[in-house]
């Protein structure tokens, strides 16, 4: 029995690949989750199929821990259209500019802070060395 969708543009195999990649799961790992009959090559072939049987789709969704409906209904083109049509950088009703939210990587910020600490420590050491030289000069001239 083959499962069909209302939208013929939706490519279930491509959706499996998209979700698998977003989750950082390799084809080998998905094959392992699906059982002994599966291998990387079979997953590759599966991801090329436009329509996937309902029971297999259920097994894949269980392995990826996502709803079957996500694989059945995700349409990238439609998602891009929705985002491009709804995202507006200027709220016309209030005249206020809306800036997109950017994600900040805390590790990068932490590394930047460490670099700044190193720079400041180097400056402190330089000032300390200058003060020591000045004090030595004053002691020698006494």
- Segment 92-110 mean pLDDT: 64
What one-character-per-residue DSSP string does the chain give? -----S-TT--HHHHHHHHHHHTT--HHHHHHHH-TT--HHHHHHHTT-SS--HHHHHHHHHHHTS-HHHHHH--HHHHHHHHHHH--SEETTTTEE-PPP----HHHHHHHHHHHHHHHHHHHHHHHHHHHHHHHHHHHT-
pLDDT band of 142, cuts 50, 70, 90: confident
Tens of pLDDT, residue by residue over 115-137, are 898 999 999 999 999 999 999 99
Q: Which is nearest to 20 in space by CA: 55, 51, 46?
A: 46
CATH for the stretch 12-86: 1.10.260.40
Burial of 16 (0-12, 13-18, 19+ CB in 10 A): buried
Tens of pLDDT, residue by residue over 42-70, are 999 999 999 999 999 999 999 999 888 88
* Domain spans in the chain, listed from the N-terminal domain onward: 12-86, 103-142
Residue 50 to residue 48: CA distance in whole angstroms:
6
Look at residue 5 in the predicted model and tell me its pLDDT.
43
Checking if the pLDDT of 4 tops 50, the result is no
Look at residue 123 in the predicted model and tell me its pLDDT.
92
Tens of pLDDT, residue by residue over 78-98, are 766 665 665 555 555 555 555
Checking if the pLDDT of 1 tops 60, the result is no
Count of CB atoms within 10 A of residue 116's CB?
10
Count of CB atoms within 10 A of residue 13's CB?
19
């Amino acid at each position: 029995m083959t499962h069909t969708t209302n939208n013929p543009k939706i490519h279930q195999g491509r959706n499996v690949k998209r979700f698998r990649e977003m989750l950082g799961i390799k084809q080998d790992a998905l094959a392992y989750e699906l059982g002994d009959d599966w291998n990387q090559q079979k997953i590759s072939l599966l991801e090329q199929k436009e329509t996937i049987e309902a029971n297999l789709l259920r097994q894949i969704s269980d392995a990826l821990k996502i709803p079957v409906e996500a694989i059945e209904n995700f349409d990238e083109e439609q998602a891009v259209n929705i985002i491009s049509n709804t995202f507006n950088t200027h709220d016309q009703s209030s005249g206020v500019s809306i800036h997109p939210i950017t994600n900040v990587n805390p590790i990068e910020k932490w590394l930047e802070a460490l670099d700044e600490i190193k720079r400041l420590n180097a400056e402190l050491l330089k000032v300390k060395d200058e003060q020591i030289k000045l004090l030595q000069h004053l002691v020698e001239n006494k």
